[in-house]
Amino acid sequence: MGKERHEDAFKSLLDLRNTPLQAARDCFYMHVLLMEEQTTQISFIRKIVEMFTVRRNRNGALGAWVCMFMQQFCGINVIAYYSSTIFKESGFSVRDSLIASWGFGMLNWVFAAPAFFAIDKFGRRTLLLFAFPLMCAFLLLAGFAFWIDEQAHPDARVGVICLGIYLFTIVYSSSEGPVPFTYSAECAALYVRDVTMSFATATCWFFNFILSLTWPSMLKKFKPQGAFGWYAAWNGIGFFMVLWLLPETKGLTLEELDDVFDVPTYKHAAYQTRALGVWFQRSILRKDVPELPPLYKSHRMAIKNAKWDADKTNTEHVE
């Protein structure tokens, strides 16, 4: 669209949206925002400054940073880079280690496919909240399996380690693998999207460098149990980072995203903490507690507010 190829842009949006009306809507939004951007051209340095000083941009950059940071500190790339070494430590022969490592890579590739269907159905944030506790558990399973006596139970040791690593890979590939780059491209305002995406990508590869550099010494000092436990703990931390710092971006227009990311971080974190408590009481304890009012109050989200207010009024009337 920046090159005046509006028809080509609309055809692309027809493939990306469910209906022609949605494609036309987003095509119009993009056109208007591009026109606005052309009237407010700012320098690259100014974009960087505003990425951190403007709350809407800062919250978007923070969300992108969390996704990219946790993509590395969930532990996937230490397994990717050193999988054959890890399998050899578990008791495999050199040949079997290479075969098991190939299996890890194949699972990583195959189970990225479910994300194509789940990411827009369940949402980016929901996938991450579901994935991090599971990845934490599976890394602990793989790490603690190194305590199984290799002499007494060699097959059990190898099998449990493989099971933990493979289950971890399956969950990662369907969630934390594809979500960060999708989220990072969506969370930024249009005029700072280039610097925000650059910031997110730099975060990803910087921590990738840190992981690849520190894993061998960590494995030597902490042993496999401690090294796997370290990254399992980060998966636990990642759950709360996503809960508190990542608004959902699924199905929202550019204008709606501006409203979502303009909510103060402390307010979003407090709301999501209460929402987690309500979910636990309703889903786990099976208590009939009222739902929280919606956090956002604009555009289509206002419809949800109106519905909540109507339900609340009806409930109070019955009482």
Residues 221 and 201 in one domain: yes
What value does the mean pLDDT of the chain take? 86
205-231 average pLDDT score: 90
Confidence of residue 300 (pLDDT cuts 50, 70, 90): low
Average pLDDT on 148-154 reads 74
Q: Are residues 105 and 30 in the same domain?
A: no
Q: What is the pLDDT of residue 5?
A: 92
Same domain for 227 and 314: no
Range of 29's domain?
6-41
Among 251, 278, 305, the domain boundary falls at 251
Same domain (yes/no): 66, 158: yes
| Domain assignment present for 139 | yes
Is the same domain home to 220 and 307?
Answer: no
Q: Residue 134: inside a domain, yes or no?
A: yes
pLDDT of residue 318 exceeding 50 = no
Could you tell me if residue 225 is inside a domain?
yes
Q: What is the mean pLDDT of residues 279-306?
A: 75
Tell me: do 268 and 235 sit in the same domain: no
Residue by residue, DSSP assigns the chain as -TTS-HHHHHHHHHHHSSSHHHHHHHHHHHHHHHHHHHHT---HHHHHHHHHHSHHHHHHHHHHHHHHHHHHHTSHHHHHHHHHHHHHHHT--HHHHHHHHHHHHHHHHHTTHHHHHHHHHT-HHHHHHHHHHHHHHHHHHHHHGGGS-TTT-HHHHHHHHHHHHHHHHHHHHTTTTTHHHHHHHHSS-GGGHHHHHHHHHHHHHHHHHHHHHHHHHHHHHHHHHHHHHHHHHHHHHHHHHHHHH----TT--HHHHHHHHTS-HHHHHHHHHHHHHHHIIIIIS----PPPPPS--STHHHHHHHHHHHHHHHHHHH-
Is residue 120 domain-shared with residue 197, that is, in the same domain?
Answer: yes
